[in-house]
Structure 1
Protein backbone atom coordinates (compact mmCIF):
# COMPACT_ATOMS: atom_id res chain seq x y z
CA UNK A 1 0.00 0.00 0.00
CA UNK A 2 1.40 3.39 -0.95
CA UNK A 3 2.53 5.28 2.11
CA UNK A 4 0.99 8.43 0.68
CA UNK A 5 -2.34 6.83 -0.10
CA UNK A 6 -2.60 5.50 3.44
CA UNK A 7 -3.27 8.82 5.11
CA UNK A 8 -4.05 9.24 8.78
CA UNK A 9 -7.67 9.86 7.86
CA UNK A 10 -7.94 6.80 5.61
CA UNK A 11 -8.32 3.09 6.22
CA UNK A 12 -5.45 1.06 4.70
CA UNK A 13 -6.06 -1.91 2.47
CA UNK A 14 -3.60 -4.72 1.84
CA UNK A 15 -2.17 -4.64 -1.68
CA UNK A 16 -3.82 -7.43 -3.67
CA UNK A 17 -2.01 -8.40 -6.86
CA UNK A 18 -4.21 -11.42 -7.55
CA UNK A 19 -7.55 -10.06 -6.43
CA UNK A 20 -10.50 -10.87 -8.68
CA UNK A 21 -12.45 -8.04 -10.31
CA UNK A 22 -15.34 -8.82 -7.95
CA UNK A 23 -13.09 -8.47 -4.89
CA UNK A 24 -11.63 -5.23 -6.17
CA UNK A 25 -15.10 -3.75 -6.74
CA UNK A 26 -16.11 -4.71 -3.20
CA UNK A 27 -13.17 -2.68 -1.90
CA UNK A 28 -13.61 0.25 -4.28
CA UNK A 29 -17.26 0.68 -3.29
CA UNK A 30 -16.06 1.66 0.21
CA UNK A 31 -13.89 4.52 -1.09
CA UNK A 32 -14.69 8.20 -1.28
CA UNK A 33 -12.32 8.62 -4.22
CA UNK A 34 -11.35 5.94 -6.76
CA UNK A 35 -8.44 6.64 -9.11
CA UNK A 36 -8.35 4.73 -12.39
CA UNK A 37 -4.86 5.43 -13.70
CA UNK A 38 -4.47 4.97 -17.43
CA UNK A 39 -1.84 4.81 -20.09
CA UNK A 40 -3.51 7.32 -22.40
CA UNK A 41 -2.74 5.39 -25.59
CA UNK A 42 -3.84 1.96 -24.33
CA UNK A 43 -7.41 1.11 -25.42
CA UNK A 44 -7.58 -1.80 -22.96
CA UNK A 45 -7.18 0.63 -20.05
CA UNK A 46 -10.16 2.62 -21.26
CA UNK A 47 -12.34 -0.48 -21.63
CA UNK A 48 -11.45 -1.50 -18.08
CA UNK A 49 -12.30 1.97 -16.78
CA UNK A 50 -15.80 1.66 -18.24
CA UNK A 51 -16.22 -1.82 -16.72
CA UNK A 52 -15.28 -0.47 -13.29
CA UNK A 53 -17.51 2.59 -13.60
CA UNK A 54 -20.48 0.43 -14.56
CA UNK A 55 -19.84 -1.97 -11.67
CA UNK A 56 -19.52 0.85 -9.13
CA UNK A 57 -22.71 2.45 -10.41
CA UNK A 58 -24.59 -0.78 -9.77
CA UNK A 59 -23.53 -0.56 -6.11
CA UNK A 60 -23.94 3.20 -5.66
CA UNK A 61 -25.49 5.51 -8.27
CA UNK A 62 -24.25 8.67 -6.50
CA UNK A 63 -21.06 8.91 -8.56
CA UNK A 64 -19.30 11.84 -10.15
CA UNK A 65 -16.84 11.19 -12.97
CA UNK A 66 -13.76 13.44 -12.76
CA UNK A 67 -11.66 13.67 -15.93
CA UNK A 68 -8.18 14.97 -16.65
CA UNK A 69 -9.10 15.13 -20.35
CA UNK A 70 -11.16 18.31 -20.01
CA UNK A 71 -9.92 21.69 -18.80
CA UNK A 72 -12.00 23.38 -16.14
CA UNK A 73 -13.04 26.51 -18.11
CA UNK A 74 -15.13 24.11 -20.23
CA UNK A 75 -17.20 22.77 -17.33
CA UNK A 76 -20.31 24.53 -18.62
CA UNK A 77 -19.92 22.84 -22.02
CA UNK A 78 -19.72 19.44 -20.36
CA UNK A 79 -22.83 20.26 -18.31
CA UNK A 80 -24.72 21.23 -21.46
CA UNK A 81 -23.78 17.91 -23.09
CA UNK A 82 -24.88 15.94 -20.05
CA UNK A 83 -28.21 17.79 -20.07
CA UNK A 84 -28.75 16.75 -23.68
CA UNK A 85 -28.36 20.27 -25.11
CA UNK A 86 -25.24 19.45 -27.14
CA UNK A 87 -24.28 16.55 -29.39
CA UNK A 88 -20.98 14.73 -28.99
CA UNK A 89 -19.68 16.54 -32.06
CA UNK A 90 -20.53 19.87 -30.47
CA UNK A 91 -18.94 18.78 -27.20
CA UNK A 92 -15.70 17.90 -28.99
CA UNK A 93 -15.68 21.19 -30.89
CA UNK A 94 -16.65 23.50 -28.05
CA UNK A 95 -14.25 22.00 -25.49
CA UNK A 96 -11.50 22.10 -28.15
CA UNK A 97 -10.87 18.47 -27.27
CA UNK A 98 -8.71 17.69 -30.30
CA UNK A 99 -6.37 20.61 -29.65
CA UNK A 100 -6.28 20.34 -25.85
CA UNK A 101 -6.17 16.56 -25.39
CA UNK A 102 -6.08 14.82 -28.74
CA UNK A 103 -6.10 11.11 -27.86
CA UNK A 104 -8.80 9.22 -29.80
CA UNK A 105 -12.27 10.36 -28.78
CA UNK A 106 -13.49 6.76 -28.96
CA UNK A 107 -11.43 6.01 -25.84
CA UNK A 108 -13.53 8.35 -23.69
CA UNK A 109 -16.87 8.53 -25.49
CA UNK A 110 -18.31 5.43 -23.74
CA UNK A 111 -17.58 6.95 -20.32
CA UNK A 112 -19.34 10.18 -21.25
CA UNK A 113 -22.23 8.35 -22.87
CA UNK A 114 -22.68 6.32 -19.69
CA UNK A 115 -22.58 9.50 -17.60
CA UNK A 116 -25.16 11.18 -19.81
CA UNK A 117 -27.47 8.16 -19.85
CA UNK A 118 -27.38 7.82 -16.06
CA UNK A 119 -27.19 11.55 -15.32
CA UNK A 120 -23.84 11.39 -13.56
CA UNK A 121 -22.03 14.70 -13.08
CA UNK A 122 -18.69 15.01 -14.86
CA UNK A 123 -15.92 17.30 -13.61
CA UNK A 124 -13.54 19.02 -16.01
CA UNK A 125 -10.39 18.84 -13.91
CA UNK A 126 -7.38 20.09 -15.80
CA UNK A 127 -5.49 23.38 -16.01
CA UNK A 128 -6.01 25.46 -19.18
CA UNK A 129 -3.33 24.81 -21.80
CA UNK A 130 -2.53 28.52 -22.05
CA UNK A 131 -1.53 28.63 -18.39
CA UNK A 132 0.45 25.37 -18.51
CA UNK A 133 2.45 26.57 -21.51
CA UNK A 134 3.18 29.92 -19.92
CA UNK A 135 4.42 28.25 -16.72
CA UNK A 136 6.54 25.84 -18.76
CA UNK A 137 8.22 28.78 -20.51
CA UNK A 138 8.55 31.32 -17.71
CA UNK A 139 7.44 29.82 -14.39
CA UNK A 140 4.53 30.54 -12.07
CA UNK A 141 5.81 34.06 -11.43
CA UNK A 142 4.93 34.99 -15.02
CA UNK A 143 1.18 34.56 -14.51
CA UNK A 144 -1.09 37.58 -14.43
CA UNK A 145 -3.62 38.19 -11.67
CA UNK A 146 -6.40 36.97 -13.97
CA UNK A 147 -4.47 33.79 -14.77
CA UNK A 148 -3.78 33.18 -11.09
CA UNK A 149 -7.53 33.11 -10.52
CA UNK A 150 -7.72 29.97 -12.68
CA UNK A 151 -5.36 27.88 -10.54
CA UNK A 152 -5.10 27.07 -6.81
CA UNK A 153 -3.31 29.61 -4.60
CA UNK A 154 0.45 29.57 -5.17
CA UNK A 155 1.16 28.41 -1.60
CA UNK A 156 -0.87 25.27 -2.36
CA UNK A 157 1.29 24.28 -5.35
CA UNK A 158 3.70 22.07 -3.43
CA UNK A 159 6.83 20.84 -5.21
CA UNK A 160 8.56 19.57 -2.06
CA UNK A 161 8.02 15.81 -2.53
CA UNK A 162 11.57 14.59 -3.25
CA UNK A 163 10.47 11.08 -4.28
CA UNK A 164 7.97 12.49 -6.75
CA UNK A 165 10.56 14.88 -8.14
CA UNK A 166 13.00 12.00 -8.65
CA UNK A 167 10.37 9.89 -10.41
CA UNK A 168 9.34 12.70 -12.77
CA UNK A 169 12.96 13.64 -13.44
CA UNK A 170 13.76 10.07 -14.50
CA UNK A 171 10.93 10.19 -17.03
CA UNK A 172 11.99 13.66 -18.17
CA UNK A 173 15.59 12.60 -18.74
CA UNK A 174 14.48 9.64 -20.83
CA UNK A 175 13.03 12.12 -23.30
CA UNK A 176 16.14 14.29 -23.51
CA UNK A 177 18.57 13.50 -26.32
CA UNK A 178 21.62 13.80 -24.10
CA UNK A 179 19.98 11.99 -21.22
CA UNK A 180 19.97 15.07 -18.96
CA UNK A 181 17.96 18.18 -19.62
CA UNK A 182 18.56 21.77 -18.57
CA UNK A 183 17.91 22.05 -14.82
CA UNK A 184 15.80 25.23 -15.12
CA UNK A 185 13.78 23.62 -17.88
CA UNK A 186 13.18 20.54 -15.74
CA UNK A 187 12.16 22.70 -12.79
CA UNK A 188 9.47 24.34 -14.91
CA UNK A 189 8.44 20.94 -16.32
CA UNK A 190 8.03 19.57 -12.80
CA UNK A 191 6.14 22.68 -11.73
CA UNK A 192 3.65 22.16 -14.56
CA UNK A 193 3.18 18.51 -13.52
CA UNK A 194 2.47 19.60 -9.95
CA UNK A 195 0.23 22.43 -11.17
CA UNK A 196 -1.91 19.84 -12.96
CA UNK A 197 -1.97 17.66 -9.82
CA UNK A 198 -2.96 20.54 -7.55
CA UNK A 199 -5.60 21.87 -9.94
CA UNK A 200 -7.19 18.44 -10.31
CA UNK A 201 -6.98 17.78 -6.57
CA UNK A 202 -8.61 21.15 -5.89
CA UNK A 203 -11.55 20.29 -8.14
CA UNK A 204 -12.04 16.90 -6.50
CA UNK A 205 -11.75 18.26 -2.97
CA UNK A 206 -14.13 21.14 -3.65
CA UNK A 207 -16.74 18.78 -5.06
CA UNK A 208 -16.47 16.39 -2.10
CA UNK A 209 -16.68 19.27 0.35
CA UNK A 210 -19.97 20.35 -1.21
CA UNK A 211 -21.24 16.79 -1.91
CA UNK A 212 -19.88 14.49 0.81
CA UNK A 213 -22.30 11.68 -0.05
CA UNK A 214 -20.89 11.23 -3.57
CA UNK A 215 -18.13 8.90 -4.71
CA UNK A 216 -15.61 10.46 -7.10
CA UNK A 217 -14.21 8.25 -9.88
CA UNK A 218 -11.10 9.90 -11.32
CA UNK A 219 -9.92 9.21 -14.87
CA UNK A 220 -6.31 10.38 -15.19
CA UNK A 221 -2.90 9.35 -16.39
CA UNK A 222 -1.14 6.92 -14.11
CA UNK A 223 1.71 9.39 -13.58
CA UNK A 224 -0.68 11.56 -11.58
CA UNK A 225 -1.72 8.62 -9.39
CA UNK A 226 1.14 6.17 -8.73
CA UNK A 227 2.39 5.97 -5.13
CA UNK A 228 -0.16 8.65 -4.26
CA UNK A 229 2.39 11.32 -5.16
CA UNK A 230 0.32 13.35 -7.59
CA UNK A 231 -3.40 13.88 -7.06
CA UNK A 232 -4.23 11.59 -4.09
CA UNK A 233 -1.88 13.13 -1.51
CA UNK A 234 -3.06 16.59 -2.48
CA UNK A 235 -6.74 15.69 -2.15
CA UNK A 236 -5.96 14.23 1.29
CA UNK A 237 -4.15 17.43 2.30
CA UNK A 238 -7.17 19.53 1.37
CA UNK A 239 -9.64 17.21 3.14
CA UNK A 240 -7.55 16.43 6.23
CA UNK A 241 -10.41 17.64 8.43
CA UNK A 242 -12.65 14.65 7.52
CA UNK A 243 -12.40 10.86 7.21
CA UNK A 244 -11.31 9.99 3.69
CA UNK A 245 -10.76 6.68 1.91
CA UNK A 246 -8.92 6.75 -1.41
CA UNK A 247 -8.14 3.76 -3.60
CA UNK A 248 -6.06 3.51 -6.76
CA UNK A 249 -6.28 1.04 -9.65
CA UNK A 250 -3.83 0.38 -12.47
CA UNK A 251 -4.28 -2.07 -15.32
CA UNK A 252 -2.36 -5.05 -16.62
CA UNK A 253 0.49 -7.01 -15.07
CA UNK A 254 1.23 -6.10 -11.42
CA UNK A 255 4.42 -4.20 -10.77
CA UNK A 256 6.85 -4.86 -7.96
CA UNK A 257 6.42 -3.37 -4.52
CA UNK A 258 9.36 -1.06 -3.90
CA UNK A 259 10.81 0.30 -0.68
CA UNK A 260 8.58 3.36 -0.80
CA UNK A 261 5.44 1.23 -1.00
CA UNK A 262 3.12 -0.27 -3.56
CA UNK A 263 2.62 1.64 -6.77
CA UNK A 264 -1.20 1.24 -6.45
CA UNK A 265 -3.82 -0.49 -4.35
CA UNK A 266 -5.00 -2.85 -7.08
CA UNK A 267 -4.15 -4.12 -10.54
CA UNK A 268 -7.21 -4.87 -12.62
CA UNK A 269 -6.98 -7.96 -14.79
CA UNK A 270 -10.31 -8.99 -16.31
CA UNK A 271 -10.95 -12.74 -16.29
Structure 2
Protein backbone atom coordinates (compact mmCIF):
# COMPACT_ATOMS: atom_id res chain seq x y z
CA UNK A 1 0.00 0.00 0.00
CA UNK A 2 1.32 3.45 -0.84
CA UNK A 3 2.44 5.60 2.13
CA UNK A 4 -0.25 8.26 1.50
CA UNK A 5 -2.97 5.64 1.23
CA UNK A 6 -1.66 3.95 4.37
CA UNK A 7 -1.83 7.19 6.28
CA UNK A 8 -5.38 7.82 5.01
CA UNK A 9 -6.47 4.33 6.04
CA UNK A 10 -4.89 4.73 9.47
CA UNK A 11 -6.55 8.11 9.93
CA UNK A 12 -9.94 6.68 8.92
CA UNK A 13 -9.49 3.75 11.33
CA UNK A 14 -8.59 6.17 14.12
CA UNK A 15 -11.73 8.24 13.47
CA UNK A 16 -13.91 5.13 13.50
CA UNK A 17 -12.28 3.96 16.73
CA UNK A 18 -12.75 7.41 18.25
CA UNK A 19 -16.43 7.30 17.32
CA UNK A 20 -16.82 3.94 19.08
CA UNK A 21 -15.05 5.30 22.14
CA UNK A 22 -17.25 8.41 22.24
CA UNK A 23 -20.39 6.27 22.03
CA UNK A 24 -19.12 4.04 24.82
CA UNK A 25 -18.17 6.98 27.01
CA UNK A 26 -21.53 8.61 26.43
CA UNK A 27 -23.38 5.46 27.44
CA UNK A 28 -21.19 5.04 30.50
CA UNK A 29 -21.63 8.69 31.45
CA UNK A 30 -25.41 8.38 31.39
CA UNK A 31 -25.53 5.28 33.56
CA UNK A 32 -22.90 6.19 36.17
CA UNK A 33 -23.24 9.96 36.48
CA UNK A 34 -22.82 10.80 40.16
CA UNK A 35 -25.01 13.30 41.97
CA UNK A 36 -22.22 15.43 43.38
CA UNK A 37 -24.06 18.76 43.26
CA UNK A 38 -27.62 20.03 43.30
CA UNK A 39 -27.27 20.71 39.56
CA UNK A 40 -26.78 17.03 38.65
CA UNK A 41 -29.51 14.62 37.59
CA UNK A 42 -30.01 11.08 36.32
CA UNK A 43 -32.94 10.27 34.05
CA UNK A 44 -34.27 6.76 33.48
CA UNK A 45 -37.33 5.56 31.61
CA UNK A 46 -40.11 3.28 32.88
CA UNK A 47 -37.84 0.27 32.19
CA UNK A 48 -35.10 1.88 34.34
CA UNK A 49 -32.93 2.47 31.29
CA UNK A 50 -30.71 5.58 31.64
CA UNK A 51 -31.24 8.32 29.06
CA UNK A 52 -29.77 11.67 28.13
CA UNK A 53 -32.26 14.49 27.46
CA UNK A 54 -31.59 14.11 23.73
CA UNK A 55 -32.34 10.38 23.85
CA UNK A 56 -35.42 11.07 25.95
CA UNK A 57 -36.70 13.66 23.48
CA UNK A 58 -36.54 11.10 20.67
CA UNK A 59 -38.63 8.65 22.69
CA UNK A 60 -41.07 11.36 23.79
CA UNK A 61 -41.56 12.78 20.31
CA UNK A 62 -44.69 10.68 19.77
CA UNK A 63 -46.38 11.83 23.00
CA UNK A 64 -49.05 14.52 23.13
CA UNK A 65 -48.16 15.69 26.64
CA UNK A 66 -45.05 15.34 28.81
CA UNK A 67 -45.52 16.30 32.45
CA UNK A 68 -42.29 17.06 34.31
CA UNK A 69 -42.85 17.09 38.06
CA UNK A 70 -40.63 19.20 40.25
CA UNK A 71 -39.56 19.93 43.77
CA UNK A 72 -39.88 23.71 43.62
CA UNK A 73 -36.47 25.33 43.86
CA UNK A 74 -34.35 22.23 43.21
CA UNK A 75 -31.65 23.39 40.82
CA UNK A 76 -31.07 19.97 39.27
CA UNK A 77 -34.73 19.58 38.33
CA UNK A 78 -34.95 23.04 36.82
CA UNK A 79 -31.77 22.39 34.87
CA UNK A 80 -33.27 19.15 33.55
CA UNK A 81 -36.50 20.88 32.53
CA UNK A 82 -34.53 23.32 30.39
CA UNK A 83 -32.30 20.58 28.95
CA UNK A 84 -35.28 18.42 28.03
CA UNK A 85 -37.31 21.24 26.49
CA UNK A 86 -34.29 22.32 24.43
CA UNK A 87 -34.06 18.76 23.10
CA UNK A 88 -37.81 18.55 22.42
CA UNK A 89 -37.62 21.76 20.40
CA UNK A 90 -35.25 19.94 18.04
CA UNK A 91 -37.89 17.33 17.23
CA UNK A 92 -39.67 17.51 13.84
CA UNK A 93 -43.08 18.66 15.09
CA UNK A 94 -43.66 21.76 17.27
CA UNK A 95 -43.81 21.83 21.06
CA UNK A 96 -45.46 24.28 23.41
CA UNK A 97 -44.52 24.90 27.04
CA UNK A 98 -47.26 24.89 29.70
CA UNK A 99 -46.45 26.13 33.19
CA UNK A 100 -48.09 25.82 36.57
CA UNK A 101 -46.07 28.89 37.50
CA UNK A 102 -48.28 31.30 35.49
CA UNK A 103 -52.05 31.67 35.75
CA UNK A 104 -54.63 32.15 33.03
CA UNK A 105 -55.40 35.74 33.94
CA UNK A 106 -51.86 36.67 32.85
CA UNK A 107 -51.76 34.92 29.48
CA UNK A 108 -51.81 38.28 27.71
CA UNK A 109 -48.70 39.46 29.58
CA UNK A 110 -46.94 36.17 28.81
CA UNK A 111 -47.76 36.63 25.13
CA UNK A 112 -46.55 40.23 25.16
CA UNK A 113 -43.22 39.23 26.64
CA UNK A 114 -42.80 36.44 24.10
CA UNK A 115 -43.49 38.98 21.36
CA UNK A 116 -40.82 41.34 22.67
CA UNK A 117 -43.32 43.96 23.84
CA UNK A 118 -42.25 43.87 27.51
CA UNK A 119 -38.89 44.00 29.22
CA UNK A 120 -38.15 41.32 31.79
CA UNK A 121 -38.80 43.43 34.87
CA UNK A 122 -42.20 44.58 33.62
CA UNK A 123 -43.02 41.03 32.56
CA UNK A 124 -42.21 39.67 36.03
CA UNK A 125 -44.32 42.38 37.64
CA UNK A 126 -47.29 42.36 35.27
CA UNK A 127 -47.48 38.58 34.85
CA UNK A 128 -47.15 38.05 38.61
CA UNK A 129 -44.26 35.64 38.06
CA UNK A 130 -43.18 33.45 40.95
CA UNK A 131 -40.47 35.07 43.12
CA UNK A 132 -38.04 32.36 41.98
CA UNK A 133 -38.60 33.07 38.26
CA UNK A 134 -35.10 34.36 37.58
CA UNK A 135 -33.30 31.51 39.32
CA UNK A 136 -35.64 28.62 38.44
CA UNK A 137 -37.61 29.34 35.25
CA UNK A 138 -35.86 32.08 33.29
CA UNK A 139 -33.66 29.69 31.28
CA UNK A 140 -36.63 27.48 30.40
CA UNK A 141 -38.83 30.43 29.45
CA UNK A 142 -36.10 31.96 27.31
CA UNK A 143 -35.80 28.74 25.32
CA UNK A 144 -39.45 29.11 24.36
CA UNK A 145 -39.02 32.80 23.62
CA UNK A 146 -36.02 32.30 21.37
CA UNK A 147 -37.68 29.38 19.55
CA UNK A 148 -40.97 31.31 19.21
CA UNK A 149 -42.71 28.42 20.96
CA UNK A 150 -46.02 29.17 22.71
CA UNK A 151 -46.14 29.31 26.52
CA UNK A 152 -49.43 28.38 28.16
CA UNK A 153 -50.21 30.12 31.44
CA UNK A 154 -51.98 27.00 32.64
CA UNK A 155 -52.92 27.55 36.27
CA UNK A 156 -55.83 29.11 38.16
CA UNK A 157 -55.16 32.44 39.91
CA UNK A 158 -53.98 32.03 43.50
CA UNK A 159 -56.42 34.56 44.94
CA UNK A 160 -59.40 32.66 43.51
CA UNK A 161 -58.01 29.32 44.65
CA UNK A 162 -57.58 30.64 48.18
CA UNK A 163 -61.20 31.83 48.21
CA UNK A 164 -62.36 28.40 47.05
CA UNK A 165 -60.38 27.00 49.98
CA UNK A 166 -62.26 29.30 52.34
CA UNK A 167 -65.81 29.12 50.96
CA UNK A 168 -65.80 25.94 48.84
CA UNK A 169 -66.50 25.53 45.11
CA UNK A 170 -69.71 27.54 45.48
CA UNK A 171 -67.50 30.62 45.56
CA UNK A 172 -67.04 30.32 41.79
CA UNK A 173 -70.72 31.21 41.28
CA UNK A 174 -70.02 34.69 42.70
CA UNK A 175 -67.43 35.56 40.07
CA UNK A 176 -68.03 37.70 36.97
CA UNK A 177 -67.89 35.72 33.72
CA UNK A 178 -64.35 36.85 32.86
CA UNK A 179 -62.92 35.85 36.23
CA UNK A 180 -64.88 32.61 36.22
CA UNK A 181 -63.17 31.69 32.94
CA UNK A 182 -59.81 31.68 34.72
CA UNK A 183 -60.77 28.44 36.52
CA UNK A 184 -61.79 25.14 34.94
CA UNK A 185 -65.46 24.85 33.96
CA UNK A 186 -65.82 21.65 35.96
CA UNK A 187 -64.03 20.69 39.18
CA UNK A 188 -63.46 17.01 39.96
CA UNK A 189 -64.81 16.69 43.49
CA UNK A 190 -65.42 12.92 43.48
CA UNK A 191 -64.00 10.74 46.25
CA UNK A 192 -61.25 9.33 44.06
CA UNK A 193 -57.74 8.12 44.90
CA UNK A 194 -56.33 11.62 44.52
CA UNK A 195 -58.78 13.04 47.04
CA UNK A 196 -57.99 10.21 49.47
CA UNK A 197 -54.27 10.94 49.23
CA UNK A 198 -54.81 14.69 49.65
CA UNK A 199 -57.13 14.25 52.63
CA UNK A 200 -54.61 11.92 54.30
CA UNK A 201 -52.11 14.78 54.49
CA UNK A 202 -52.14 16.72 57.72
CA UNK A 203 -51.09 20.31 58.24
CA UNK A 204 -50.25 21.15 61.87
CA UNK A 205 -52.06 17.94 62.85
CA UNK A 206 -55.32 18.83 61.12
CA UNK A 207 -56.91 17.02 58.20
CA UNK A 208 -57.84 19.17 55.19
CA UNK A 209 -61.42 20.27 54.69
CA UNK A 210 -63.66 19.60 51.70
CA UNK A 211 -63.21 23.23 50.68
CA UNK A 212 -59.42 22.85 50.76
CA UNK A 213 -59.64 19.84 48.49
CA UNK A 214 -61.82 21.84 46.11
CA UNK A 215 -59.06 24.45 46.06
CA UNK A 216 -56.44 21.80 45.37
CA UNK A 217 -58.33 20.21 42.50
CA UNK A 218 -59.07 23.63 41.01
CA UNK A 219 -55.36 23.77 40.20
CA UNK A 220 -55.36 20.28 38.69
CA UNK A 221 -58.57 20.72 36.72
CA UNK A 222 -57.54 24.14 35.42
CA UNK A 223 -54.13 22.94 34.24
CA UNK A 224 -55.74 19.89 32.62
CA UNK A 225 -58.39 21.99 30.90
CA UNK A 226 -55.81 24.56 29.73
CA UNK A 227 -53.76 21.86 28.02
CA UNK A 228 -56.76 20.04 26.58
CA UNK A 229 -58.19 23.25 25.13
CA UNK A 230 -54.82 24.20 23.65
CA UNK A 231 -54.36 20.83 21.97
CA UNK A 232 -57.90 20.97 20.60
CA UNK A 233 -56.95 24.23 18.86
CA UNK A 234 -53.46 23.00 17.84
CA UNK A 235 -53.73 19.25 17.19
CA UNK A 236 -50.37 19.08 15.40
CA UNK A 237 -48.46 20.24 18.50
CA UNK A 238 -47.34 18.60 21.74
CA UNK A 239 -47.04 20.16 25.19
CA UNK A 240 -44.49 19.93 28.00
CA UNK A 241 -45.95 20.89 31.38
CA UNK A 242 -43.93 21.90 34.45
CA UNK A 243 -45.69 21.44 37.80
CA UNK A 244 -45.17 20.30 41.36
CA UNK A 245 -44.69 16.56 41.62
CA UNK A 246 -47.69 16.03 43.95
CA UNK A 247 -49.92 16.88 40.97
CA UNK A 248 -48.70 13.84 39.00
CA UNK A 249 -47.77 11.37 41.74
CA UNK A 250 -48.99 7.84 40.95
CA UNK A 251 -50.62 9.15 37.79
CA UNK A 252 -53.29 11.01 39.77
CA UNK A 253 -54.19 14.70 40.03
CA UNK A 254 -53.59 16.66 36.85
CA UNK A 255 -52.94 13.45 34.93
CA UNK A 256 -56.32 11.96 35.85
CA UNK A 257 -58.13 15.18 35.10
CA UNK A 258 -56.54 15.51 31.66
CA UNK A 259 -57.21 11.86 30.78
CA UNK A 260 -60.86 12.28 31.82
CA UNK A 261 -61.18 15.18 29.39
CA UNK A 262 -59.44 13.37 26.55
CA UNK A 263 -58.71 9.65 27.03
CA UNK A 264 -57.01 9.49 23.63
CA UNK A 265 -54.09 11.67 24.67
CA UNK A 266 -50.72 9.97 25.05
CA UNK A 267 -49.19 11.28 28.26
CA UNK A 268 -45.69 10.72 29.67
CA UNK A 269 -44.78 11.45 33.30
CA UNK A 270 -41.33 12.32 34.62
CA UNK A 271 -41.28 12.13 38.40
CA UNK A 272 -38.35 13.50 40.43
CA UNK A 273 -36.96 11.79 43.52
CA UNK A 274 -34.01 12.79 45.64
CA UNK A 275 -31.20 10.34 46.30
CA UNK A 276 -32.50 9.67 49.82
CA UNK A 277 -36.07 8.96 48.63
CA UNK A 278 -35.49 6.21 46.08
CA UNK A 279 -36.87 3.40 48.22
CA UNK A 280 -39.82 5.38 49.58
CA UNK A 281 -41.02 6.95 46.33
CA UNK A 282 -41.68 4.11 43.85
CA UNK A 283 -43.39 5.48 40.76
CA UNK A 284 -45.25 3.05 38.54
CA UNK A 285 -45.94 4.28 35.01
CA UNK A 286 -43.43 7.11 35.41
CA UNK A 287 -39.96 7.92 34.24
CA UNK A 288 -37.67 8.71 37.16
CA UNK A 289 -35.53 11.80 37.50
CA UNK A 290 -33.04 11.19 40.30
CA UNK A 291 -31.45 14.28 41.85
CA UNK A 292 -29.21 15.02 44.80
CA UNK A 293 -30.76 15.18 48.26
CA UNK A 294 -31.61 18.62 49.55
CA UNK A 295 -30.05 19.87 52.79
CA UNK A 296 -32.26 19.32 55.85
CA UNK A 297 -34.76 22.11 56.27
CA UNK A 298 -34.60 21.89 60.05
CA UNK A 299 -32.47 20.11 62.60
CA UNK A 300 -33.98 18.20 65.50
CA UNK A 301 -35.51 20.58 67.99
CA UNK A 302 -35.71 23.54 65.64
CA UNK A 303 -39.17 25.16 65.40
CA UNK A 304 -41.45 24.82 62.41
CA UNK A 305 -41.66 27.94 60.25
CA UNK A 306 -44.58 30.24 60.95
CA UNK A 307 -46.02 32.20 58.09
CA UNK A 308 -49.41 33.15 56.75
CA UNK A 309 -50.73 34.31 53.42
CA UNK A 310 -53.32 36.31 55.30
CA UNK A 311 -57.04 36.29 54.76
CA UNK A 312 -58.03 36.14 51.09
CA UNK A 313 -60.00 39.06 49.72
CA UNK A 314 -63.04 37.24 48.37
Relative to the length of structure 2, the TM-score reads 0.71
| Residue of structure 2 in register with 1:111 after alignment | 140
Matches within 5 A, 1:255-270: 255=278, 262-269=283-290
Task: Select the structure of larger CA radius of gyration.
Answer: 2
User: How far has the Cα of 1:211 moved from its partner?
Assistant: 0.5
Q: Which residue of 2 aligns with 1:17?
A: 48
3-state SS of 2:209 partner? helix
Q: Given the alignment, which residue of 92, 100, 108 partners 1:60?
A: 92
RMSD over aligned Cα atoms:
2.2
Residue ranges of structure 2 left out of the alignment (5+ in a row): 1-44, 292-314
**Higher mean C-alpha displacement, 127-136 vs 20-29:** 20-29
Tell me which residue corresponds to 2:206: 180
TM-aligned CA deviation for residue 170 of structure 1: 3.2
Are the aligned partners of 1:16 and 1:265 in contact in 2 as well (CA < 8 Å)? Answer: no
Number of aligned positions between the proteins: 241
Shift of the alpha carbon at 1:269? 4.7
Query: What are the ranges of 5 or more consecutive residues in structure 1 without an aligned counterpart?
Result: 1-13
Q: Quick check: 2:168–2:212 contact (8 Å CA) kept in 1?
A: no
Deviations 1:90-110 (A, max 9, x none): 11010122xxx3335320000
CA deviations on 1:15-36 (whole Å, 9 max, x unpaired) are: 2234322553332122100001
Partner residue in 2 for 1:49: 81
| Of 242, 245, 252, the match for 1:229 | 252
In structure 2, the partner of 1:6 is none
Distance 2:95 2:232 in 1: 14
Given that 1:66 and 1:216 are in contact with CA atoms closer than 8 Å, whether structure 2 keeps it comes out as yes
User: 1: distance between equivalents of 2:253 and 2:92?
Assistant: 26
Equivalent residues of 2:250, 2:283 under 8 A apart: yes
Matching residue of 1:158: 188
Measure the CA separation in 1 of the matches of 2:242 and 2:70: 7
